Amino acid sequence: MGAYRVLGLETSCDETAAAIVEADRGDDGTSGGQTLAQALRSQIDEHRPFGGVVPEIAARAHLDILDGLVARALADSGLALRDLDAVAATAGPGLIGGVLVGVMTAKALALASGLPFIAVNHLEAHALTARLQGGLAFPYLLVLASGGHCQFLAVEGVGACRRLGTTIDDAAGEAFDKAAKMLGLGHPGGPAVEKAARLGDPARFALPRPLVGRPGCDLSFSGLKTALRQTVERLGPTPPTPQDIHDLCAGFQQAIADCLADRARAARHLFAQRHGPGHALVLAGGVAANQTLRAALARVADEAGMVFAAPPPALCTDNAAMVAWTGIERLRLGLTDPLDFRARPRWPLDPDAPPATGAGRVKA
Amino acid sequence: MSTAAPTLALDTALAACSVAVTLPDGRASARTIPMERGQAEALVPLIASVLEEAGLEPAAVGRIAVTVGPGSFTGLRVGLATARGLGLALGCPVEGITVGEALADAVLDEAPDACVLVLIDSRRGDLFAQTFQGRDAHGLPRPLDDPRALPPDAARAAATQAGILLVGDGVARLDLGEAGPALPDPVRVARLAGRRPADAVRPPVPLYLRPPDARPAPNGGRLWA
């Protein structure tokens, strides 16, 4: 049957990446695929002085380096464009200046080589990445937790995601970033808070668990952020000690883990009503790199006899292999896009879901 | 100076989407669609249709020319990402031409020794300006200064010097009367790319003329000093 080989480009936030993924043509996607090459450059250093991602700085950096990364991925794979089957790029949601760099590069490569172009929804790429490893069939319950999004989705197929719940304000990753900023731990915040939390006592400071126990499975993190600020202010006029900071991080991370776990239990219930037992619970998105949150959600899966799956950390944070893999999943179904495709700064995965503040949103 | 292979030229720097193909025998095909936005959707299909009109497969293109600015930041990136993607896929050189060179070149066709002030509306309050006089030995407009951003008053003062000819969409913005073309002609962009000697080619890198709008967070956003 031969193989599908797709080039994927990712430029929707502060990672510039190109990757080539290969998969068996005769498969339905459950056997997964192989990453033949990937070239990725993070812009963390460019954005660090600003305490968050600056869209114009990101867009400029993507243009400067994307074509070089594509050339490197091709060289590393030993393939030429004519050996590929399609060119896929993240076409939203995300910071539109960067998204356009990836989309235009992909459209140009497609026109010049005669290959089909595939416009990939960045959220669908996160949602389908767990299948790249192989062994994961539809449907599954997805916890998508990143710097821009925090949602529970029933992933029923390619192009078929049903949103069960979402954050009504901040994303989980955004909460980590803001906490790190307030505590002087720098950008990006997730790894810094996780590291500090290892040395802290999660029980020392009482922080709230917003929406826990409420009907549905929506999430909220903005009150938690406010509570953290007030807790620091109550410590008095002198700066917090290192131990204070460790304890604050541990308490904050535990609060997010508790919220995610409680809301995931509610989502698990909603998912089981529709799809019954025996399916997997998948954690994806940059926040999935956090070991405490991974463990909390693994427990939620285990309680219900669900298989827990999370892509390795390098596939949880933004990358191009997930875009290339989604390109393969779509190509298999004949889903390609015209060269006049309009990139979408907002692009909800489930267009039928009622709007919620924060849904489908990417912020700095 | 003629070129040995067809040149494909792109311009999305200002309020249009323009594509041209010039052939070694001097023939050219070109299309310009005026638009404030939407270049990211229009550009690649327009390239396909201009190539088809010229009877060329993409692989026949031997050089790509693209406007690098000054202009709309998003427009510059749309044109440059496309040009660089094409250059990578086709294995051909990609050359940058400034919007100022393309506009001044049109005025110099009528008045070969004139002093030309290019004024481009930045759509952010100020104007992008550059002065040229005559052409150099390669036939390229000869710059008298570097391109720069000017507040409207300074741009107006520069524009009212005796004997200077004006060109660009900034002329109408300052109500300075009749001027040369407001948009780069893509055929001209293609031909300018053929004139520059190989060791002086401008890389396909944007000419933003303005740093990104971003201020470092005071104290990094930390709650205490």
A323 plus A295 within the same structural domain: no
Question: CA A108, CA A103: separation in Å to the nearest integer?
Answer: 9
Q: Is residue B217 pLDDT above 90, yes or no?
A: no
Q: Which of B81, B89, B215 lies closest to A112 in CB terms?
A: B89
Question: CA B132, CA B111: separation in Å to the nearest integer?
Answer: 12
Residues of B in contact with A110 (CB under 8 A): 44
Using alpha carbons, select from B147, B155, B83 the residue that is nearest to residue B126.
B155
CB contact under 8 A, A100 and B81: yes
Cβ pairs A/B, distance under 8 A: 129
A160 plus A272 within the same structural domain: yes
A238 plus A301 within the same structural domain: yes
Q: Is residue B189 pLDDT above 70, yes or no?
A: yes
Q: Which of A101, A184, A338 lies closest to B81 in CB terms?
A: A101
A119 plus A252 within the same structural domain: no
A56 plus A108 within the same structural domain: yes
| Residue B162 burial by Cβ neighbours in a 10 Å radius (0-12, 13-18, 19+) | exposed
A299 plus A177 within the same structural domain: yes
CB contact under 8 A, A111 and B58: yes
Does A145 show up as a binding residue in the annotation? Answer: yes
A303 plus A158 within the same structural domain: yes
Number of domains in chain A: 2
Instruction: Kindly identify which residue of chain A lies nearest to residue B79, measuring between CA atoms.
Output: A104
Residue A350 included in any domain:
no
Residue A361 included in any domain:
no
A163 plus A129 within the same structural domain: no
Using alpha carbons, select from B75, B76, B110, B97 the residue that is nearest to residue B143.
B97
Residues of B in contact with A232 (CB under 8 A): 223-224
To the nearest whole percent, how much of chain B has pLDDT over 90? 84
In three-state secondary structure terms, A195 is helix
Best probe of the B interface among A48, A63, A183, by most B CBs < 10 A, is: A63
Question: What is the per-residue DSSP string for B36-96?
Answer: SS-HHHHHHHHHHHHHHHTT--GGG--EEEEE--SS-HHHHHHHHHHHHHHHHHHT--EEE
Given pLDDT bands bounded at 50, 70 and 90, which one contains residue B180? confident
CB contact under 8 A, B223 and A182: yes
pTM higher than 0.90: yes
pLDDT at B216: 77
Question: CA A59, CA A100: separation in Å to the nearest integer?
Answer: 8
- Paired residues of A284 in beta bridges: A144
Given pLDDT bands bounded at 50, 70 and 90, which one contains residue B219? confident
CB contact under 8 A, A104 and B88: no
Residue A36 included in any domain:
yes
Residue A73 included in any domain:
yes
Best probe of the B interface among A67, A117, A232, by most B CBs < 10 A, is: A67
Does A359 show up as a binding residue in the annotation? Answer: no
Question: CA A138, CA A105: separation in Å to the nearest integer?
Answer: 32
- Mean pLDDT score of chain B: 94
pLDDT at A357: 56
Calculate how close chain A gets to B202, using CA atoms only, in Å: 15
Q: Which of A54, A108, A182 lies closest to B82 in CB terms?
A: A108
CB contact under 8 A, B216 and A59: no
A298 plus A201 within the same structural domain: yes
pLDDT at B1: 40
Per residue of chain A (364 residues), what is the pLDDT tens digit? 699 999 999 999 999 999 999 999 988 989 999 999 999 999 988 898 888 889 999 999 999 999 999 999 999 999 999 999 999 999 999 999 999 999 999 999 999 999 999 999 999 999 999 999 999 999 999 999 998 899 999 999 999 999 999 999 999 999 999 999 999 998 888 999 999 999 999 999 999 999 999 999 999 999 999 999 999 999 988 999 999 999 999 999 999 999 999 999 999 999 999 999 999 999 999 899 999 999 999 999 999 999 999 999 899 999 999 999 999 999 999 999 999 999 999 999 888 887 775 444 433 2
CATH number of the domain within which A44 lies:
3.30.420.40
Helix A222-234 and helix A242-275: axis angle, to 10°? 160
**Contact between residue B212 and residue A47 where contact means Cβ atoms under 8 Å apart:** no
* Half-sphere exposure (Cβ direction) of A198: Cα atoms closer than 13 Å: 7
CB contact under 8 A, B222 and A183: yes
Residue A289 included in any domain:
yes
Residue A345 included in any domain:
no
CB contact under 8 A, B44 and A111: yes
CB contact under 8 A, A342 and B41: yes
Domains in chain B (CATH in brackets) are: 7-99+183-200 (3.30.420.40), 100-173 (3.30.420.40)
**Contact between residue A250 and residue A200 where contact means Cβ atoms under 8 Å apart:** yes
CB contact under 8 A, B212 and A182: no
Does A318 show up as a binding residue in the annotation? Answer: yes
Residues of A in contact with B90 (CB under 8 A): 112
Q: Is residue B220 pLDDT above 90, yes or no?
A: no
**Contact between residue A93 and residue A127 where contact means Cβ atoms under 8 Å apart:** no
A173 plus A295 within the same structural domain: yes
Long-range contacts of the stretch A46-51 (C-beta < 8 A, 24+): A46/A14, A47/A14, A47/A187, A48/A186, A48/A187, A49/B216, A50/A187, A50/B214, A50/B215, A50/B216, A50/B217, A51/A181, A51/A186, A51/A187, A51/B216, A51/B217, A51/B220, A51/B221
CB contact under 8 A, A81 and B89: yes
Best probe of the B interface among A111, A183, A230, by most B CBs < 10 A, is: A111
Residue A305 included in any domain:
yes
Residues of A in contact with B64 (CB under 8 A): none
Domain that holds residue A79: 3-133+317-332
Residues of B in contact with A112 (CB under 8 A): 58-59, 85-86, 89-90
Residues of A in contact with B44 (CB under 8 A): 104, 107-108, 110-111, 339-340
Question: CA A263, CA A267: separation in Å to the nearest integer?
Answer: 6
Does A177 show up as a binding residue in the annotation? Answer: yes
Calculate how close chain A gets to B149, using CA atoms only, in Å: 18
Residues of B in contact with A109 (CB under 8 A): 85-86, 88-89
CB contact under 8 A, B81 and A70: no
A102 plus A81 within the same structural domain: yes
The secondary element (H helix, E strand) that includes residue B31 is strand B28-34
CB contact under 8 A, A97 and B74: yes
A62 plus A156 within the same structural domain: no
Residue A343 included in any domain:
no
Calculate how close chain A gets to B135, using CA atoms only, in Å: 31
Strands B16-22 and B7-11: antiparallel
